Chains A and B, each alone.
Chain A
Amino acid sequence: MTAAPTSQLSRADARALGSPTTLRFVLLLLLFVAGSAALSGGIAAEFADPADNTLGCALAGGLNPDVTFRFDAFTGIDDAAVRACWAHYVPDTTWVPIVVVPTLILLAVGLYLVLPRWKTRRSRLLAPAQVDLDGRLCADLDALVAEAGLRRRVRIGVDPGALTAGAVVFGTGRHPVLRLHSGLLVTRLTDRRRFRAIVLHELAHIRNGDVLVTYATVALWRVFLAAALVPSAVLAVYNLVTGRSPAAWHLSSLPAYQLIEVALIVVLVYLSRADILRTREMHADLTAVQRWDVRPAELVHEHAPTGRRAFWELWRTHPSWSLRRRTLVAPDALFSLNASAMFATGLIADIFAGQLYSLAEGPSLIYQALSTAAVVVAIAGVSLWRAVRYAQAKGKRPPSGWGTGFWLGAGLAVGELVIAGVLGGGWLPPHPEVLAILIAVVMLLAAWTAEYVRLPVRAMVVGLVPPWLALAFVLTWWRLLTPVEGLLASGTNVLSGLGVSTTHPPLLVEITATLVSLPGADTSFGGLWWAIPLLWLVPLVRWEPLGPRRIVRASLVGGLAAAAGLFAARFAIADAAAELSLLVIVITAAMLGTAAVVGARSATYPLLTASIASGGVALVATLCVSSVFPFSLLEFSTGYVFGPAGIACLGAAALAHAVRPRHGVRVPTTVRRPRTVVAIVVSVTIAVLAVDTGHGTAQARRPVTASVVRAAPEPSARTLELQVDAWVRFGGGNLIERIDAIGDTTFQNAIAEAGSTSDPAGTLSAACARLGSLTDDADRLFPVPIAQGRRIWARIVDALDSAATACGRVRRQHDLTSFLAADDDVQNAESEVDTLLGWMGPVGVPPGTKPVVVSLGEYQSLVYRGVTYRFAAADVSVRPDRTATVNVAVCLAGAPPHVTVVGGPPSAQSWRLVFPNGIRVAPAKPPRNADAPLYPPGNGAAFGATGDCAAGLVPFDIPATEHGAPAQVEFAHPSEPVLVWHVTSHDTDTLGTAREIPGGTVAVTGYSILTGRHRVATITVACADRPATWSLLLADGVTIASNPSGSHDCGGSIRFDLPASDRADPVEIDYNSGSTNLTWLMTPPTQ
């Protein structure tokens, strides 16, 4: 029978021929578990943090959402401060996966146990005895179970409603149930052999352990679907429709990617499960045929229907009858390398890795890479192993592994695209071409495995360890630096560390700096770079077929050539900074050359021979030059030479092998095994690696590695707004309030109290204590998002620091005058805060907002991040001393329940006075102890509830160049106006305008200027019912007080004596009653 080779193989190497389908089931189960943990965590986070403080903290810390991809977005972010912010503002949901996953697993276990009962009840199973009309059915079934030699007791039932001649097994691994269709009872009487074949096929499923994995997957899948995938998809659709959470991110593609990921998981799981089950069916057929002498024709009728369309076949859990028939004749299908299965494996493994990654970043990276690589290599490795062994047994050409590697790598690459989208948004990462590296590495490792399997080795596991660790090595690097999102290894830090000019560094030095972006920069044990040497050390165990002499010769020649080159170069190039790249370049070049030559000359094992030879080159060269180059440099080059260079050598060998001349190459097949050479090479390598690794571990990760920096992308104006707003909301606003409160209230009250108390030092010390941790908190806060702001903040921290020092003197030495110094420092800090707020502009306004121009006194609304504010500029008063005040008010008009309004009213520094010629004037520093209420109120008032208002005067100094009246009042961002009030002649105080003052009105109804020997101006006023000072402002800035002889009565006139020396015309009439300042503009005087 044709199954003979298989059974021989099974006996020879049973493990090698074990089906990898169990591993693929395990991968699905891992995906379910990791996926439910990640998805439930994501859902919990969305509900626990509806205002998206997670994002807010990240923005405050410098996150730049303009950049679509994660690493660029997080470049330069203040990690410690962000974590502290999350700890404070974001409810902790890390416990959710910890609770949810075990719960889901328990539910799945429950479902797994309940499903068989439910199936039994639904199909109203009958005991065979109930339909055993001839009294022999039960005996027949017992005999078949005994023949199958099953260790488990099998419960058998008859499904009365199923008329097909089939059967099914279900249940649990320990309690399987064989359900016979009632149609099969007819077959038993008409075709006993067929009946026996079908029952034995089902018993083969039980024997092969299919029941446990199949129904465990079913149970876990249903729970995963209902509890994680569906809610996650619903949430993504909701976000997609409402545009909710990603609004601040500009990441419109994020929920779409989440949906794609969910859909992909569903489709992949269905297809993979179906594919695995189809394989299991063929195995069950084979088991029945090989073990219990079932004839293939009894299992699959000659007239059995042929297959459906290939596409629909993919979704079926059973292979087509024609494939089953073919497999029973020659089980090629069971040993072939299925491209779609490899692709699905790569994709599922990568999505699994992505779920792991979203669960925990950082230190667990290496474990994530190890687990992902373990599943990928186990599945692909076992498949390759089986395919090669089967081909060898059948005398066919064994597979090269390139195709397997390609499809596996392509799966991983597509997975990376999805993960990049889910984690970072955007439809395509900036550098998708880098995915080729991932595919190439997997292809090389698969080809290496295929070659290794061709060696006469028995233990499969040993051969899978090097590719496993090598893939983990590459994946760790990949995850750490995510080259697909754009890797800019600016070597600036390295260069400056080496004391080299960073502007035009020599090429070699630049290469040195660039090396840090490659895998292998981390030469600690955790860097996994030592996995690559395993690729050439492990095959040494069986290297007779590889041609040991040729390898040793090539290693020596290449190694000595590299050493000679390095000696020569060391004397030729004196630049210390170039030495590292020199070492790496020369040794790598020798390795690549040797690998290419050796690979081209080996007909059967190009990768293995090239790998060993290039490793030998690295070893020989390193040993030779160890006395000349500093040890630290050699050690640092180790990671590159033995790591990525080792992988590159596989590529060089493969390339050279592909283009080699196809004649005259003979590989010696029987060579004496040079045990001594092997022993020496292995021991020396291990010694070198041990020394390096030990040293590397001690140093952990070296500073050069840490200096891989990315060019921080410049945030847009919009992002700056978001960042500033987040900075204010998540800490900045609170600190500013604290500074204001101490400066305006605490210290002033303390000074006032100190005069009347018996223990002034105690009172002042108590006030000082309020400074408390303010300095530290200010120092620990996120950097201010604007560069100028950071400088101002540094001055604030300095001022607070100085205040704290002065306060220290108050406490320790009872030096009361120091308190005044502390007060000055705090006032300075307050003043700097005002400057800072001026830089920051309003609370945040969408860019490009067109200002609405209204007249003074009207409120204007401004909606920002869901919070509505109402702003008004009530009036403008210009005083004779060339100062002006604008009476303003800001009210909180409303915020949705989930939005927290943090901080007080917008800074006074956001107001501008605009003169007709376009000159904008920023507010002046508010006078201390001003009589009139200044804006914003200095008592640290915060907007708490809708309707809260802040009102007061914003002071301005009028530039000497400006003679006319202000034309506009603006509430402005540093760069653009947002709200504009138009100062019309009617609204301001042109002549005739009556103004309300406490207790009455006042108006200037007219004026006249008499010129002659004495210039006299007379204004006619109405209803000035209290003593007040009237003055005239001349166009050249000179202020003229009124002649005290003038009448101040209602309806009277006031006279001004204009100095004869000054020919300037009066432009303003000012009124000052002590509490009210009013200004009237004078139209050109009537002569």
Chain B
Amino acid sequence: MPSLLDVVRNVVADFAPEELPLVAALGHLPPDEVGKRLADGTSRDDPLGFGMGEVVALVTPVVWTAVQQVVNHMATSAADGMGTRVRDRLIKRRHRKAPGTPLPRFGPAEYAQVASTVGEQAVRLGMTPERAELLSHRVVDELRKLEPGDGTS
């Protein structure tokens, strides 16, 4: 089963191949930390840094965070029946897993959610709506490859 990293890498290779070194770098981080770093992606006022404000419009964080959000949501729903503490520990353990952890199976609702999140984020980053839609389709396509019978590449 492919992992989130595989999905992102495939989409990026197709959609923004110049970001592949970035994906490779993110692959070395624990997944929960990737989420955190991507969430506060703004630069800091480090002494002897190059300076603030050089935020680049990137596809990678859009795809990664959108899929990660849906996965997190699914994990939370699945664990809803358990006690809060057990659930939190399960979710934490899941996040600590290696980047190659296979993704869960998505349903139509999840696909729709991923597509809309990716679309919104991409537009916010400055992509044209057409290109943003193309990207969201590409992500959903990549995720659909996970469905049984659809085969994996």
Give the interface segment out of B24-32, B79-87, B140-148: B24-32
Instruction: Give Cα A167 to B38, complex, Å.
Output: 17
Residue pair A321, B51 in contact (C-beta under 8 Å): yes
Residue among B25, B27, B36, B43 having the largest count of chain A Cβ atoms under 10 Å: B25
**CB within 8 A of A131: which of B21, B34, B50, B54?**
B21
Instruction: Give Cα A324 to B51, complex, Å.
Output: 10
**CB within 8 A of A133: which of B20, B34, B36, B45?**
B20
* Size class of the contact patch on chain B: 20 to 34
- List residues of chain A with CB within 8 A of the CB of B43: 162, 164, 166, 181
Q: Is B74's CB within 8 Å of the partner chain A?
A: no
**CB within 8 A of B58: which of A126, A168, A186?**
A186
Residue pair B48, A304 in contact (C-beta under 8 Å): no
Residue pair A168, B46 in contact (C-beta under 8 Å): yes
A contact residues, total (Cβ < 8 Å)? 46
Instruction: Give Cα A181 to B41, complex, Å.
Output: 11
Instruction: Give Cα A205 to B50, complex, Å.
Output: 10
- List residues of chain B with CB within 8 A of the CB of A168: 46, 48-50
Residue pair B48, A170 in contact (C-beta under 8 Å): yes
Give the interface segment out of A210-218, A505-513, A586-594, A1035-1043: A210-218
Given A160-B28, A163-B41, A163-B58 in contact, is the A189-B47 Cβ separation under 8 Å?
no
Interface string of B50-65 (1 = CB under 8 A from A): 1111111010110000
- List residues of chain B with CB within 8 A of the CB of A317: 45-49
Q: Is A183's CB within 8 Å of the partner chain B?
A: yes
Instruction: Give Cα A183 to B57, complex, Å.
Output: 10
Q: Is B73's CB within 8 Å of the partner chain A?
A: no
Report the minimum CB–CB distance from A279 to chain B (whole Å).
12
- List residues of chain B with CB within 8 A of the CB of A908: none
Which residues of A161-216 have CB atoms within 8 Å of chain B's CB atoms?
161-170, 181-183, 185-190, 198, 201-202, 205, 210-211, 214
Residue pair B21, A161 in contact (C-beta under 8 Å): no
Instruction: Give Cα A276 to B41, complex, Å.
Output: 27
Report the minimum CB–CB distance from A306 to chain B (whole Å).
10
- List residues of chain B with CB within 8 A of the CB of A166: 43, 49-51, 54
- List residues of chain B with CB within 8 A of the CB of A133: 20-21, 24
Report the minimum CB–CB distance from B69 to chain A (whole Å).
17
Given A161-B34, A210-B48, A318-B49 in contact, is the A126-B54 Cβ separation under 8 Å?
no
Q: Which residue of B lies closest to A182 (CB)?
A: B25
Residue pair B50, A167 in contact (C-beta under 8 Å): yes
Q: Is B33's CB within 8 Å of the partner chain A?
A: yes
- List residues of chain B with CB within 8 A of the CB of A167: 49-50
Report the minimum CB–CB distance from B49 to chain A (whole Å).
4
Instruction: Give Cα A205 to B28, complex, Å.
Output: 29
Residue pair B53, A158 in contact (C-beta under 8 Å): no
Q: Is A451's CB within 8 Å of the partner chain B?
A: no
- List residues of chain B with CB within 8 A of the CB of A190: 18
- List residues of chain A with CB within 8 A of the CB of B50: 166-168, 198, 201-202
Residue pair A277, B37 in contact (C-beta under 8 Å): no
Report the minimum CB–CB distance from B29 to chain A (whole Å).
5
Report the minimum CB–CB distance from A277 to chain B (whole Å).
5
Residue among B22, B38, B46, B54 having the largest count of chain A Cβ atoms under 10 Å: B54
Report the minimum CB–CB distance from B35 to chain A (whole Å).
10
Residue pair A131, B41 in contact (C-beta under 8 Å): no
Instruction: Give Cα A702 to B121, complex, Å.
Output: 83
Given A162-B43, A163-B56 in contact, is the A189-B49 Cβ separation under 8 Å?
no
Interface string of A955-988 (1 = CB under 8 A from B): 0000000000000000000000000000000000
**CB within 8 A of B26: which of A182, A187, A210, A280?**
A182
**CB within 8 A of B25: which of A126, A202, A210, A321?**
A126
Instruction: Give Cα A170 to B45, complex, Å.
Output: 13
Given A186-B19, A321-B53 in contact, is the A164-B41 Cβ separation under 8 Å?
yes
Q: Which residue of B lies closest to A160 (CB)?
A: B25
Q: Is A130's CB within 8 Å of the partner chain B?
A: yes
- List residues of chain B with CB within 8 A of the CB of A160: 25-29, 37
Q: Is A499's CB within 8 Å of the partner chain B?
A: no
Which residues of A70-111 have CB atoms within 8 Å of chain B's CB atoms?
none
- List residues of chain B with CB within 8 A of the CB of A318: 45, 49, 51-52
Q: Is A737's CB within 8 Å of the partner chain B?
A: no
Given A126-B25, A131-B21, A187-B56 in contact, is the A161-B37 Cβ separation under 8 Å?
yes
**CB within 8 A of B29: which of A161, A183, A211, A214?**
A161
Residue pair B33, A161 in contact (C-beta under 8 Å): yes
Residue among A165, A218, A316 having the largest count of chain B Cβ atoms under 10 Å: A165
Residue pair A131, B25 in contact (C-beta under 8 Å): yes
Report the minimum CB–CB distance from A416 to chain B (whole Å).
31
**CB within 8 A of A211: which of B19, B20, B48?**
B48
Residue pair B18, A189 in contact (C-beta under 8 Å): yes
Q: Which residue of A lies closest to B29 (CB)?
A: A160
**CB within 8 A of A186: which of B21, B36, B46?**
B21
Instruction: Give Cα A458 to B81, complex, Å.
Output: 83
**CB within 8 A of B21: which of A162, A189, A277, A304?**
A189
Instruction: Give Cα A90 to B48, complex, Å.
Output: 48
Q: Is A281's CB within 8 Å of the partner chain B?
A: yes
Q: Is A124's CB within 8 Å of the partner chain B?
A: yes
- List residues of chain B with CB within 8 A of the CB of A161: 26, 29, 33-34, 36-38
Report the minimum CB–CB distance from B101 to chain A (whole Å).
18
Residue pair A169, B48 in contact (C-beta under 8 Å): yes
- List residues of chain A with CB within 8 A of the CB of B41: 163-164
Instruction: Give Cα A182 to B34, complex, Å.
Output: 12
Residue pair A163, B55 in contact (C-beta under 8 Å): yes
Q: Which residue of B lies closest to A169 (CB)?
A: B48
Report the minimum CB–CB distance from A1065 to chain B (whole Å).
100
Instruction: Give Cα A170 to B24, complex, Å.
Output: 24
Report the minimum CB–CB distance from B138 to chain A (whole Å).
18
Which residues of A257-295 have CB atoms within 8 Å of chain B's CB atoms?
277, 280-281
Instruction: Give Cα A211 to B48, complex, Å.
Output: 8
**CB within 8 A of B45: which of A126, A186, A205, A316?**
A316
Residue pair A185, B48 in contact (C-beta under 8 Å): no
Interface string of A42-72 (1 = CB under 8 A from B): 0000000000000000000000000000000
Report the minimum CB–CB distance from B70 to chain A (whole Å).
21
Interface string of A129-172 (1 = CB under 8 A from B): 01111000100000000000000000000101111111111100
Residue pair B37, A162 in contact (C-beta under 8 Å): yes
Q: Is A305's CB within 8 Å of the partner chain B?
A: yes
Report the minimum CB–CB distance from B142 to chain A (whole Å).
20
Interface string of A312-339 (1 = CB under 8 A from B): 0000111001001000000000000000
Residue pair B24, A130 in contact (C-beta under 8 Å): yes
Report the minimum CB–CB distance from B9 to chain A (whole Å).
11
Residue among B22, B38, B61 having the largest count of chain A Cβ atoms under 10 Å: B22
Given A218-B47, A277-B48 in contact, is the A186-B53 Cβ separation under 8 Å?
no
Given A166-B50, A167-B49, A304-B53 in contact, is the A124-B29 Cβ separation under 8 Å?
yes
Instruction: Give Cα A133 to B26, complex, Å.
Output: 13
- List residues of chain A with CB within 8 A of the CB of B46: 168, 170, 317
Residue pair B53, A183 in contact (C-beta under 8 Å): no
Residue pair B21, A185 in contact (C-beta under 8 Å): yes
**CB within 8 A of B47: which of A183, A188, A214, A321?**
A214
Q: Which residue of A lies closest to B53 (CB)?
A: A305
User: Residues on B close to A: CB < 8 A?
Assistant: 18-22, 24-29, 33-34, 36-38, 41-43, 45-56, 58, 60-61
Q: Which 9 A-B pairs have the closest CB atoms?
A: A161-B37, A160-B25, A189-B18, A164-B43, A185-B21, A168-B49, A182-B25, A166-B50, A318-B51
26 interchain pairs, CB-CB under 8 A: A126-B25, A133-B20, A137-B21, A160-B29, A160-B37, A161-B34, A161-B37, A162-B43, A163-B58, A163-B60, A164-B43, A164-B56, A165-B56, A167-B50, A170-B48, A183-B58, A185-B22, A186-B21, A189-B21, A202-B48, A205-B48, A214-B48, A277-B47, A305-B53, A317-B46, A318-B49
A124-B33, A321-B53, A324-B51 given; name 10 further pairs at CB < 8 Å: A126-B25, A131-B21, A161-B33, A163-B56, A164-B56, A168-B46, A211-B48, A281-B51, A317-B49, A318-B45
